[in-house]
Amino acid sequence: MVSMQLTFQRVSKIFSNRLGNDSVAALEDIDLRIASGEFVAILGPSGCGKSTLLEIVAGLQAPTSGEVLLDGEPVHSPHPRVSVVFQEDSTFPWRTVAENAAFGLEMRGVRKAERDGAVAHAIELVGLCGFEGHYPHQLSGGMRQRVAIARTLVMNPAVLLMDEPFGALDEQTRFVIGEELLRIWDATRCTIFFVTHSLHEAVQLADRIVVLSARPGRIKSIFENRLSRPRVEAKDPQTYAVLMASLREAIGLTSAVFDPDAPRVRPARAEA
Amino acid sequence: MSHAPSTVTIVTARVAFVALLLALWIIGSSAYGSAVLPSPLEVVATILQGFREGWLIHATLVTLSEVLPAFAIAAIVGAGLGIALGLARFWGDVLEPMVLGVYSIPKITLYPIFLVLFKLGLASKVAFGFFHGVFPIEILTQGATSTISPTYLKVARTLNLTPWQTAAHVVIPAIVPAMAVGLRLAFSLTFIGVILAEMSASRAGLGFLLNAADSTFDSRRTLAVIVILAIIGIGTNLVFYALERRVSPARPEARQATLAM
Ligand SMILES: Nc1ncnc2c1ncn2[C@@H]1O[C@H](COP(=O)(O)OP(=O)(O)O)[C@@H](O)[C@H]1O
Ligand SMILES: [Mg+2]
C-alpha cells in the first residue's frame, strides 16, 4: 500500500493555560476527508490553527475533541508511515546531506549497506546529487528544505505533512521547488497535506484547497482545482483568474493584506 | 564589500606586534634597571636555570597534577549537570539564580573553607580548581540544552525515537559546539583557580613559586613563572580553539559564543 487516506472527524482544539482561566480556541469542528494519494492544501491566515491541525495529524498534539483517522485507525502518536516537513530549518548542522537524509532509517536500525540505496534515490528525487557530502551551512535555504524532504522520502511515507515548507523562500525559488515537489509526488504517490498561507502556492500545487477561517480555525470552503499542470497563469488566464478571485473572496481579505506574494500595484514613476 | 585580510597578513601583523612588545619590554628593562624589570634574555636564562636545577619543572608538574583532575571533574560535572538542568526545566529554573549568584562571587574569598575541608595539599587545590572552573561549562551547556531548536525535538518525536536516541543523536550533537566553548573556559578558569589557591596557601606549585619570588623581590623568578603560566595558558587555549573549530563546521552561532565570552 503506497498511501493512506486521512479523515478528520469534528476535530477541535482549545489551548488553555494551567489555571484554566485563559483559553484559546484554535480549531473548531474540522470535518474533512482526504483521499489516498490526494494533494490537499490548507490555506488560511496566520494564527488560524494550520500548524496545530498538522501536528494533530502528526501525533505531536492531541485534539481536545474529535479524531483524526489514518485509513480508519485513530491517530494517538506519531505514525511510522507519516512524515513531516517543518517550516523552520530542521536539518541537523552536524550531519552532511546524505547523513541527514539517512537519519530516520539509521534510527530504525537499518544498516548502512541497506539504507544507502534509499538515501541515494531520495537525494536524486530532490535534485541534490553532488551535494551528498555538503553540510547544511554550505547550502541555501531552499536546498536545506530539499534535504528535509529527502529525509522524509527515505522513510517511504504514506502521508507527507508539510507546514509552510517553502515559506521562507523567495517567490522564484518557491515556484521551482513547488514544481519539483509535484514531480516527487508523481513518483511516490503519497498523500500530501500541505499547509500554506500563500494563494499562489495553493493554486500551483493542490488538487483541493481547504480554506480555513481566522481563529478559531473552521473550514470555510473547499475548492477543487482543475487547472492543468504546470499551473502558470498564462496557460489559462480565465480559469486561473476565476479560481484566484473565488479564493480571495473565501478568505474575505484584500489580497495585499492577506497574500504577501500578490503583485502590488506600484505608483508609476516619471522617467527622466 | 571589503576583503577579509589573508592569513599571511594576520600572522605577519601578529609577529610584528609581539616584536613591538618585546622591544617595549627591553626599553623598559633598561630604563628601570634589571632589578625591577629583568630583560627578556635574563628571564629566558632564569627559565633554563630553573629547568636545569629542577625547581621550575617540579613546580610545573605539581600545578599540572592539580589542574588536570580539577578540570576533568569540572568538565564531567559541569556538562552532566548542564544537560540535566537544561532538560529538566523546573530544576533549571529553580537553581539558575543560585548558580549565577555563586558564579559572580569572587571565588577566592571562599578558599579558606576549602583549606579547612581539604587541608593544605593536593585535595584543596583540586577542589578549589574544580569550583572555580565548573560554572562556565555548566551555564553554557544548560543554556544550549534548554534552547535547543524545538523543531529538532519534533523531528525526534515524529520518528518515535527513544529518549536515549534523542539524547545521543539530537541533543548532544546540538550542544557540542557550546560545550567546546565551555571546556575552553573551564580549563582557563580551573587553571586560574589552582594558581590563586597556590598563591594563597600552599607548599608547592607555580603559584607557590610566584608568591615566594614576590616576597623576596626576585623579579627574574617572578617573570620566569609568568612566562611558563602564559605558555601553558596560550598552548591549551590553542588546542581548545582547534577543538571548537572541528566540532562547529562554520556554525555562526558557535563563533559568536566564542567571541562573547
Ligand atoms: N501550545 C500552545 N499554547 C497556547 N496557544 C497556542 C499553542 N500553540 C498554538 N497556539 C495558538 O493557537 C492558534 C493557532 O496556532 P497555529 O496552529 O500555530 O496557527 P498557524 O499555523 O495557522 O499560524 C494561535 O493563536 C496560537 O497562538
Ligand atoms: Mg503555522
Tell me, yes or no, whether B29 and B109 share the same domain. Answer: no
Task: Tell whether B16 and B110 lie within a shared domain.
Answer: no
The reported pLDDT for the residue numbered A229 is 80
**A50-71: average pLDDT:** 94
Q: How far is B61 from chain A (nearest CA, A)?
A: 38
B80 and B12 share one domain: no
- Same domain for B65 and B33, yes or no, is no
Ligand 1 atom closest to residue A54's alpha carbon, by position in its atom list: 17
State whether B59 and B142 are in the same domain.
yes
Q: How many domains does chain B have?
A: 2
Give the CATH number for residue B235.
1.10.3720.10
Same domain, B91 and B4: no
Q: Which residues of A touch B159 (CB under 8 A)?
A: 78, 103-104, 107-108
> What pLDDT score was predicted for residue A265?
45
pLDDT, one tens digit per residue, over A125-173 is: 888 999 999 999 999 888 999 999 999 999 989 999 999 999 888 888 8
Q: Would you say the CB of residue A86 lies under 6 angstroms from ligand 1?
A: no
Question: Domain check: are B156 and B191 in the same one?
Answer: yes
In a domain, B153, yes or no: yes
Q: Is residue B211 part of a domain?
A: yes
Radius of gyration over alpha carbons of chain B, in Å?
A: 22
**Same structural domain for residues B202 and B107?**
yes
The answer to the question of residue B150 being in a domain is: yes
Nine-digit cell string for B30 = 633598561
DSSP 8-state class, residue B204? S
Q: CB–CB of B132/B126 below 8 Å?
A: no
pLDDT value of position A20: 67
Whether a cis peptide bond, with omega within 30° of 0, leads into A230 is yes
Ligand nearest to the CA of A217: 1
- Cα separation, B211 vs B222, in Å, equals 8
Q: How far is CA B218 from CA A190, B33, B51, B211, B253, in A?
A: 81, 13, 17, 10, 46
Domain that holds residue B23: 1-37
Domain contains B137: yes
Residue % of chain B over a pLDDT of 90: 72
From the list B158, B165, B169, the residue facing A78 with the nearest CB is: B158
Check pocket membership of A92 for ligand 1, CB cut-off 6 A: no
Residue B66 has pLDDT above 50, yes or no: yes
Domains of chain A: 6-81+157-270 (3.40.50.300)
Let me know if residue B225 belongs to a domain.
yes
Q: Which of B152, B249, B252 comes nearest A135 by C-beta?
A: B249
Report DSSP letters for B108-177, one per residue: GGGHHHHHHHH-SSHHHHHHHHHHHHHHHHHHHHHHHHHTS-HHHHHHHHHTT--HHHHIIIIIHHHHHH
Q: Which residues of B166-204 are buried (b: 16+ CB within 10 A; e: fewer)?
A: bbebbbebbbbbbbbbbbbbbbbbbbbbbbbbbbbbbeb
Provide the 3-class DSSP secondary structure of residue B1: coil
Q: What is the pLDDT of residue A230?
A: 80
CB contact under 8 A, A94 and B161: no
Nearest CA to ligand 1 atom 12: A26
Residue A228 one-letter amino acid: S
Residues B22 and B138 both lie in one domain: no
**Domain-embedded: residue B100:** yes
Q: Look up residue B125 and give its three cell numbers.
A: 587545590
* ipTM surpassing 0.90: no
State mean pLDDT over B229-238: 94
Q: Is the CB of A183 under 6 A from ligand 1?
A: no
In a domain, B102, yes or no: yes
Q: What is the mean pLDDT of residues A39-50?
A: 92
- Nearest chain B CA: its distance from A197 CA (Å): 20
CB < 8 Å to A95, chain B: 173
Provide the pLDDT for residue A167.
86
Whether residues B27 and B147 fall in one domain: no
Residues of A in contact with B157 (CB under 8 A): 60, 78
User: Mind spelling out the 3-state secondary structure of chain A?
Assistant: CCCCCEEEEEEEEEEECCCCCCEEEEEEEEEEEECCCCEEEEECCCCCCHHHHHHHHHCCCCCCEEEEEECCEECCCCCCCEEEECCCCCCCCCCCHHHHHHHHHHHCCCCHHHHHHHHHHHHHHCCCCCCCCCCHHHCCHHHHHHHHHHHHHCCCCCEEEEECCCCCCCHHHHHHHHHHHHHHHHHHCCEEEEEECCHHHHHHHCCEEEEECCCCECEEEEEECCCCCCCCHHHCHHHHHHHHHHHHHHHCCCHHHHCCCCCCCCCCCCCC
Decide if B261 is inside a domain: no
Q: Are residues B216 and B117 in the same domain?
A: yes
Question: Do B48 and B27 fall into the same domain?
Answer: no
Least confident of A53-62, A138-147, B249-258: B249-258
Please tell me if the CB atom of residue A46 comes closer than 6 angstroms to any atom of ligand 1.
yes
Which residues in A lie closer than 8 A to residue B151 (C-beta atoms)?
A: 86, 88-90
Smallest Cβ distance to B157: which of A78, A83, A88? A78
Q: What is the pLDDT of residue B199?
A: 94
A·B CB contacts under 8 A: 56
C-alpha cell at B96: 539558575
Which residues fall inside 5 Å of ion ligand 2, going by CB? A 51
